[in-house]
Amino acid sequence: MSTPGDSRPAAKPQRILSCVLCQQRKIKCDRKSPCGNCLRAGADCVLATRQRRRRFAERDLLERLRHYEDLLRHNHIPFQPLHPPPDDDPTSPGGSEPTSHRSELEQPPPDAVSDPSVKTKTKRKAEAADRGLGQDVSQAVITTAWNQMYQSEPGDYLLFGHAKTNIDLAAIHPDQAQIFRLWQIYLDNVDPLLKITHTPTLQSRIIDAAADIAQVPPALEALMFSIYCMALLSLSDDACQRAFGASRKEQLATYQVACQQALRGCDIFRAADRDSLTALLLYLVSIREEADPRTLSSMLAIAIRIAHRMGLHREPANARCLALEGEMRRRLWWSLIMFDSRICEIFDYRAAPLDPTWDCQPPVNIHDFDLRPEMKKLPAGHDRPTEAIFTVVRSEVTDFIRHSSFHLDLTNPLLHRLVDRSQNASDLSRFEHSIEQKFLNSCSLDNPLQYMTLWTARGSLAKSHLLDYYTQRAKATTEPTETGLDWALNQALSIIQSDTRLMASSLTVGYRWFLLMYFPLPAYVHILQDLRKRPGKRADSVWEAMGDNYEARKMSSMRSESPIFVVFSRLVLQAWEARETASPDQPLQPPQMVVDVRRRILQMQASFPREADKDPTNGNATSALATDNGPLPMPANMPANIGSVGQGVAAYEPELLASTRTDPLNYASLFGAHEMGVDLNQLYLSPMDWIFAQP
């Protein structure tokens, strides 16, 4: 038993700090040694030690601030001063100009002296400044300084080029009736799939702008031209001709040029407003048909950098805004990221910006009329589908993919350590079940948007299963089982069938512009490669599914000279040849897709003379088509000079269709002296090689 003399004050327990790695990653640490995060990441856990932060004296901070203000005055840069300059020496380096020559930013408002409330606010600001230079104040000063320094040289010519003439944009706008017609087409065909404009507030602004088109603000004008572009993009050639009496291509080109000039006018590269960035995104979507995906990806990188500067990728920045502004920022960020990801998939999946380094939350399932400008708190999401259901479901699926193991394995395995598996689900099947229960089961097959949402989501989830299968196969050390091969084949068929339902339905006619961006080539590659190895596996049903999709997408009208079509044709003909080889004693009727592909290949052969015909030194050259291994086999009654005299193959079509066996083709010779730069005759693709090679 202790005596009063032995009592000592209890020692204060030492506070355990977060480890160094958790502090750097800005995540919660359990303060154990080693902590759970470091154990999962396989990293060394080093406990942090408390260090006293160096504090500058208030006098030093104020002297530094006065010095920076003097530099701004000396270089005649307007700013918001925190300290009034001395009145006795206006010509000194630290002095200011006379009041009459000071910028508007430096001059106090006229009623500032007489209004007591203004005096109180000014005093509070001065007291806050005396406590130190805040982040908002410094950012405002820096932004003003940069704007003033480069006011005369915005730098937009670096991308758009120098403006040769001043275009009167007011004269390019359509008349009021056509403005409202284009706006309605945009609301019907484009807005439901993107949801990056708020209809109730934007419609009133467009009505006011149409009444006085010469006085439209630059950002709104750029947004209007981008809406015209997207409305025309969503129309077919015939529909555009009927509605506006002009060809779609000409109208679209006119408004795209006007949109470029309007973006230049709103200073898009330095702007930090949502309207300008929305206009830029819509413009980039509208040029997708004609743009090289590599060029478009570079331009999208500029848009993403602008979004970063605006803080759209950071949820704390969005949460500080009012409910309407914050939600529209989220929608804009997700639309921008998903479009850029799709463009990157076309040529290099690893360049896709879907990574777990940003924390913007997916949009909420609410209607536009649920959001009002004065609202401070975001409404709760609906349990039933809303007008934002397509964007919400796509964002949810994309958010899962960017945290998933298979996606990080394909892009950057080092990012695995940034994903907290306790907060981000990793089981794809479980996630698919939750999406079905939460969104898809309540979608109506009679509603165009909900029909589009249902089959787009299921096709995207099936594609994710297929990618997961490939990453698992890449890690496996044993041969795949029949069960595994059948499962992967079912996923590829699910992609094809979902796409067929979308393309063949009359409900999605207005959404075809979006569907054309998502040709299911990965599924075709997997199925055709599987049929080469297992030609008898569910062959009839598989060929029928591909034929239905071939017809629904009207692939018979695809440009035959497209290199993608040549590769696709080779895969189709090789798969059918394997089917015929596996059944030598059974006559097979080729599917219509095979017949069409063979006909178009032969038409291409008739259109391209062999290399000898192009050589002026070869006077005795015959016009028969040849390959590297000798003349190309032809039906017996087809003349050898079909290529040179320009005869078609229609007269010989019965014999071509009767012969089901595929002759060896020299695809590279169809383009002359290997103009494609690859030898397609040596092209044997694995599904991983072409899984993201989208046309």
CA 631 – CA 426 distance, rounded (Å): 55
User: 656 or 140: whose pLDDT is higher?
Assistant: 140
Same-domain status, 406 and 320: yes
Does 166 reside within a domain? no
Cα 683 off chain centre by? 30
pLDDT at 695 over 90: no
Q: How far apart are the first and last CA of the chain?
A: 86
Q: Which domain holds residue 39?
A: 16-53
> Three-state SS for 43?
coil
Output DSSP code: residue 12: P
d(CA 235, CA 240): 6
Average pLDDT of span 101-109: 38
390 within 8 A of 192, measured Cβ to Cβ = yes
Q: How confident is the model at residue 621 (pLDDT cuts 50, 70, 90)?
A: very low
User: Looking at residue 241, what is its pLDDT?
Assistant: 94
Last residue of a domain, one of 556, 584, 607: 607
Asked if 31 contacts 46 with a C-beta cutoff of 8 angstroms, the reply is no
Query: Do residues 180 and 289 both lie within one domain?
Result: yes
Q: Which helix (H) or strand (E) holds 124?
A: helix 116-130
Examine the domain organization and report whether 458 and 561 are in the same domain: yes
Answer yes or no: are the C-beta atoms of 681 and 338 closer than 8 Å. no
452 or 419, which is more confident? Answer: 452
Q: Which two tokens stand for residue 253?
A: 């080109």
Say if 323 falls within a structural domain: yes
Q: How far is CA 320 from CA 276, 288, 323, 376, 561, in A?
A: 21, 34, 9, 9, 53
Inside any domain, residue 585: yes
The residue length of the chain stands at 695
Any domain includes 622: no
Residues 671 and 608 sit within 8 Å (Cβ to Cβ): yes
CB-CB contact of 227 with 183 (8 Å): yes
The answer to whether residues 481 and 488 touch, using CB atoms and an 8 Å cutoff, is no
Specify the amino acid at residue 563.
Answer: P
Residue 121 has pLDDT above 50, yes or no: no
How much is the mean pLDDT over the chain? Answer: 77
- pLDDT score, position 584: 82
| Cα–Cα distance measured from residue 291 to residue 453, given in angstroms and rounded to the nearest whole number | 27
- pLDDT score recorded for residue 152: 57
Contacts of 571 by beta carbon, 8 Å cutoff, 6+ apart: 524, 525, 528, 529, 685
* Token output for 103: 């910028």
**Sorting pLDDT into bands at 50, 70 and 90, what band is 145?**
low
Between 206 and 5, whose confidence is greater? 206
- Number of neighbours of residue 343 by Cβ within 10 angstroms: 25
Residue 618 in tokens: 């070869």
Percent of the chain with pLDDT strictly greater than 90: 47
Distances (CA, A) of 512 to 221, 249, 346: 27, 17, 19
The Cα-based distances of 695 to 100, 289, 518, 563, 568 in angstroms read 63, 11, 9, 9, 10
Whether residues 480 and 598 share a domain: the answer is: yes
Pick the last residue of a domain from 560, 582, 607: 607
Residue 167 CA to residue 221 CA, distance in Å, equals 13
Please report the pLDDT score of residue 13 as a whole number.
63
456 with 415, same domain: the answer is no
* Confidence (pLDDT) at 153: 58
Whether 431 and 518 share a structural domain: no
Per-residue pLDDT at 311: 94
Q: Both tokens of residue 549? A: 């999709």
Report whether pLDDT(664) > 50: no
| Dihedral sign (CA 78, 84, 88, 93) | negative
Highest mean pLDDT among 139-148, 370-379, 419-428, 618-627: 370-379
Whole-number pLDDT of residue 421 = 73
Lowest mean pLDDT among 118-127, 436-445, 567-576, 615-624: 615-624
Between CA 549 and CA 477 the distance in angstroms is 35
> What is the DSSP-derived secondary structure letter of residue 321?
S
Where are the extended beta strands (E) located within 245-302? none
Do 524 and 490 have their domain in common?
yes
Q: What is the pLDDT of residue 334?
A: 97
Residues 204 and 278 in one domain: yes
Q: Quick one: pLDDT at residue 691?
A: 39
Q: Report the pLDDT value the prediction gives residue 116, as an integer from 0 to 100.
A: 47
Rounded mean pLDDT, 339-359: 82
Q: Is residue 405 part of a domain?
A: yes
Which of 575, 607, 639 is where one domain is finished?
Answer: 607
Contact 317, 311 (CB under 8 A): yes
| pLDDT band with cut points at 50, 70 and 90 for residue 226 | very high
- Same structural domain, 413 and 457: no
Higher pLDDT, 107 or 439: 439
From the list 149, 75, 148, 150, the residue with the least C-alpha distance to 105 is 148
pLDDT tens per residue across span 502-546: 999 999 999 999 999 999 988 999 999 999 999 887 888 999 999
64-97 pLDDT per residue, tens: 778 888 888 777 777 777 655 554 444 333 333 3
- The pLDDT value given to residue 521: 87
CATH number for position 37 = 4.10.240.10
Residue type, 78: P
Q: Is 689 helix (H, G, I), strand (E, B) or coil?
A: helix
Max mean pLDDT range (14-18, 421-425, 539-543): 539-543
Q: Is the pLDDT of residue 455 over 80?
A: yes
Tokens matching residue 460? 């995207």
pLDDT tens profile 274-316: 999 999 999 999 999 888 888 999 999 999 999 999 999 999 9
Looking at the structure of the chain, the number of domains it has is 3
- Structural domain includes residue 263: yes
* Pick from 194-198, 344-348, 384-388: least confident: 344-348
Closest CA to 651 of 630, 667, 634, 666: 634
Q: What is the pLDDT of residue 162?
A: 58
Helices (H) then strands (E): counts for the chain: 31, 2
Which CA distances in Å does 265 have to 70, 309, 657?
Answer: 33, 20, 59
Q: Indicate whether 328 and 224 sit together in one domain.
A: yes
Which residues face 630 on adjacent strands? 627
Confidence tier at 167 by pLDDT (50, 70, 90): confident
Q: Based on the domain organization, do 381 and 513 belong to the same domain?
A: no
- 602 occurs within a structural domain: yes
Give 19's strand partners.
47
What's residue 603's pLDDT?
80
Residues 584 and 470 in one domain: yes
Indicate the angle between helix axes 539-552 and 482-504, nearest 10 degrees: 30
pLDDT tens, 251-283? 999 999 999 999 988 888 888 899 999 999 999
pLDDT on residue 332: 98
Question: Does the residue 560 lie in any domain?
Answer: yes
pLDDT at 323: 95
